[in-house]
């Protein structure tokens, strides 16, 4: 069908389309060039790796409330100031203060008098043993199975929760999630049944001799009992001994909880053209063993480096880009909770938050917290992102630190950087989590991925 239209009418239809097409094209090209510049900056002039070396080696482990955690606050503030961002400031918060103490030892004994020394770490929040304690060891697979037992089976015994990671999961965070109750709730449930103490198989992927700590929780009305994790190799061995007869566990730990102390979230900003805020961050505290390299030194230097790169490239954001080094993710999340509450009290407008807390390994994409059409918005850029091997974009989890913002800003976008998870639980919360296990380029690619996503969302979100 041919319809004659006067020229003016053709122009009326075509011109906006042509303009739109040329604008879209130019915008895509500008995005592509800018993202290439982000990656060049990260890979050729990157500072993430040396910053991580400094955090790991000049300070090291930095559990909330410790002197090292306060050093980390000073470290972060000084580093952020050195980059001359528009604002750098501390946000005061109250945090718990738990310490491991100086004594931590355990062994098992069978009826023949054979002994086996165990490699243990007290769980964060555990009480000490007040000298050497001793009790018959009762193996229970997990918290579900424990809840089915009666008090007479458990009273005055020491419970051993022994469930191993399910290796069939492709993403190791799913295996971690499956075993999480052992550590998070095992001591609480064992105490309700009168147990004297609890030991768990470490929440870890490999078969090796590192124990992995992490926080354990007690309900308000439950008596706190000593709780520790043993290495996966020890756990296998203990199970073998238990199959052969009665086993006694002896344990001494002098960990304890001190009064709350004042600490800080460390914050830097590049001021935007409007009053809206995009938050990026990871957590500055770590556990008190190893160097907190992957958990979450990597997230800290990813976030700082993303902001540094955007500033270096002279990017003028639409929204304020705020980098937050959260305190106390590991045992209380008071950094994340306080940040959200203070944001709301200050009537801030938050449109997006992006967290990196899954290690310094190869970034593979982003999880988008299911909300509105946010996954669609991210997927609009999938061709650009595929050039950098960022290929996985799904509805999923954001992060612990940014999570509390959702309560006050239910409409905001939240993203969690998706990172190759295969080796994460070899290191997580253990003495093995050190700088040497981080690959320089993988860390740099993580920083570039974060800067890229900040840029794209700053341009996409109104």
Radius of gyration of the chain (CA): 25
| Site string (224-263) toward a copy of itself, x via CB under 8 A | ----------------------------------------
Q: Is residue 194 a contact residue for a copy of itself (CB under 8 A)? A: no
Chosen residue from 52, 267, 402, 445 binding a copy of itself by CB under 8 A: 445
| Distance of alpha carbon 394 from alpha carbon 170, whole angstroms | 15
Q: Is residue 439 a contact residue for a copy of itself (CB under 8 A)? A: yes
| Beta carbon nearer to a copy of itself, 349 or 387 | 387
| Distance of alpha carbon 264 from alpha carbon 188, whole angstroms | 29
Q: Say if CB 128 and CB 101 are below 8 A apart.
A: yes
The CA-based angle 436-442-448, given to 5 degrees, is 130
| Beta carbon nearer to a copy of itself, 36 or 224 | 36
Q: Is residue 347 a contact residue for a copy of itself (CB under 8 A)? A: no
Partners of 121 in the β-ladder: 229
| Beta carbon nearer to a copy of itself, 43 or 105 | 43
Q: Shortest gap between Cβ of 252 and a copy of itself (angstroms)?
A: 34
Q: Rounded to the nearest 10 degrees, how much is the dihedral formed by the CA atoms of 151, 154, 159, 162?
A: -80
Q: Is residue 420 a contact residue for a copy of itself (CB under 8 A)? A: yes
Chosen residue from 356, 426, 430, 452 binding a copy of itself by CB under 8 A: 426
Q: Is residue 271 a contact residue for a copy of itself (CB under 8 A)? A: no
Chosen residue from 111, 144, 383, 389 binding a copy of itself by CB under 8 A: 389
Chosen residue from 442, 459, 460, 461 binding a copy of itself by CB under 8 A: 442
| Beta carbon nearer to a copy of itself, 36 or 153 | 36
| Beta carbon nearer to a copy of itself, 173 or 408 | 173
Q: Is residue 436 a contact residue for a copy of itself (CB under 8 A)? A: no
| Distance of alpha carbon 458 from alpha carbon 84, whole angstroms | 21
Q: Is residue 172 a contact residue for a copy of itself (CB under 8 A)? A: yes
Chosen residue from 71, 342, 440, 459 binding a copy of itself by CB under 8 A: 440
Which stretch, 36-44, 117-125, 135-143, 326-334, contacts a copy of itself (CB under 8 A)? 36-44
Show the 3-state SS of the chain: CCCCCCHHHHHHHHHHHHHHHHHHHHHHHHHHHHHHHHHHHHHHCCCHHHHHHHHHHHHCCCCCCCHHHHHHHHHHHHHHHHCCCCEEEEEEEEEEEEECCCCEEEEEEECCCCEEEECEEECECCCCCCCCEEEEEEEECCHHHHHCCCHHHHCCCEEEECCCCCCCCCCHHHHHHHHHHHHHCHHHHHHHCCCCEEEEECCCCCCCCCCCCCECCCCCCCCCCCEEEECHHHHHHHHHHHHHCCEEEEEEECCEEEEEEEEEEEEEEECCCCCEEEEEEEECCCCCCCCCHHHHHHHHHHHHHHHHHHHHCCCCCCCEEEEEEECCCCCCCHHHHHHHHHHHHCCCEEEEEEECCCCCCCEEEEEECCCCCHHHHHHCCHHHHHCCCCCEEEECCCCCCCCCHHHHCCCCEEEEEEECCCCHHHHCCCCCCCHHHCCHHHHHHHHHHHHHHHHHHHHHCC
Chosen residue from 105, 116, 242, 362 binding a copy of itself by CB under 8 A: 362
| Beta carbon nearer to a copy of itself, 10 or 391 | 391
Show the 3-state SS of 66-92: CHHHHHHHHHHHHHHHHCCCCEEEEEE
Which stretch, 4-12, 63-71, 405-413, 420-428, contacts a copy of itself (CB under 8 A)? 420-428
Q: Is residue 391 a contact residue for a copy of itself (CB under 8 A)? A: yes
Q: Shortest gap between Cβ of 167 and a copy of itself (angstroms)?
A: 5
Q: Is residue 51 a contact residue for a copy of itself (CB under 8 A)? A: no
Chosen residue from 90, 313, 364, 377 binding a copy of itself by CB under 8 A: 364
Chosen residue from 35, 38, 39, 336 binding a copy of itself by CB under 8 A: 39
| Beta carbon nearer to a copy of itself, 273 or 441 | 441
Chosen residue from 81, 246, 316, 441 binding a copy of itself by CB under 8 A: 441
Q: Is residue 430 a contact residue for a copy of itself (CB under 8 A)? A: no
Which stretch, 143-151, 162-170, 306-314, 370-378, contacts a copy of itself (CB under 8 A)? 162-170
Q: Is residue 209 a contact residue for a copy of itself (CB under 8 A)? A: no
| Distance of alpha carbon 74 from alpha carbon 76, whole angstroms | 6
Q: Is residue 40 a contact residue for a copy of itself (CB under 8 A)? A: yes
Which stretch, 82-90, 143-151, 167-175, 189-197, contacts a copy of itself (CB under 8 A)? 167-175
Q: Which residues bind a copy of itself (CB under 8 A)?
A: 39-40, 43-44, 167-168, 170-172, 205-206, 362, 364, 387-389, 391-392, 420, 422-423, 426, 439-442, 445
């Amino acid at each position: 069908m041919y319809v004659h239209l006067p020229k003016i009418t053709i122009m009326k239809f075509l011109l906006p389309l042509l303009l739109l097409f040329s604008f879209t094209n130019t915008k895509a090209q500008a995005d592509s060039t800018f993202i290439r510049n982000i990656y060049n900056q990260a890979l050729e002039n990157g500072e993430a790796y040396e910053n991580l070396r400094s955090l790991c080696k000049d300070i090291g482990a930095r559990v909330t409330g410790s002197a090292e955690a306060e050093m980390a606050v000073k470290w972060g503030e000084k580093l952020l100031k050195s980059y001359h961002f528009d604002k750098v400031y501390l946000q005061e918060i109250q945090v718990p203060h738990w310490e491991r103490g100086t004594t931590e030892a355990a062994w098992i004994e069978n009826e023949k008098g054979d002994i086996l020394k165990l490699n243990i770490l007290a769980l964060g929040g555990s009480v000490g043993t007040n000298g050497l304690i001793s009790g018959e060891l009762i193996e229970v697979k997990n918290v579900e199975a424990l809840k089915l037992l009666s008090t007479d089976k458990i009273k005055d015994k020491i419970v051993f929760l022994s469930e191993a990671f399910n290796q069939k999961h492709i993403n190791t965070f799913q295996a971690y999630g499956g075993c999480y109750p052992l550590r998070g709730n095992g001591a609480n449930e064992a105490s309700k049944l009168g147990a004297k103490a609890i030991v768990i198989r470490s929440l870890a992927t490999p078969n090796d001799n590192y124990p992995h700590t992490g926080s354990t929780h007690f309900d308000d009305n439950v008596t706190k009992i000593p709780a520790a994790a043993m290495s996966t190799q020890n756990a296998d061995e203990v199970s073998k001994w238990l199959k052969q007869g009665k086993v006694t566990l002896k344990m001494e730990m002098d960990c304890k909880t001190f009064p709350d102390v004042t600490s800080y979230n460390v914050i830097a900003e590049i001021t935007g053209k409007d009053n809206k805020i995009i938050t990026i961050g990871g957590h500055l505290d770590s556990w008190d063993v190893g160097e907190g390299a992957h958990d979450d030194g990597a997230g800290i230097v990813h976030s700082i480096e993303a902001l540094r790169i955007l500033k270096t490239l002279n990017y003028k954001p639409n929204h304020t880009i705020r980098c937050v080094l959260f305190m106390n993710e590991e045992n209380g999340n008071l950094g994340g909770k306080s940040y959200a509450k203070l944001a709301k009290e200050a009537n801030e407008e938050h449109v997006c938050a992006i967290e990196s807390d899954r290690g310094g390994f190869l970034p593979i994409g982003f999880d988008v917290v299911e909300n509105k059409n946010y996954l669609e918005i991210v997927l609009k850029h999938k061709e650009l992102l595929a050039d950098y091997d960022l290929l996985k974009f799904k509805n999923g989890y954001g992060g612990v630190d940014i999570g509390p913002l959702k309560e006050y800003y239910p409409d905001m976008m939240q993203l969690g950087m998706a990172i190759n998870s295969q080796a994460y639980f070899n290191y997580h919360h253990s003495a093995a989590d050190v700088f040497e296990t981080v690959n320089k380029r993988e860390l740099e690619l993580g920083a570039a991925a974060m800067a890229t996503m900040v840029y794209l969302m700053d341009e996409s979100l109104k």
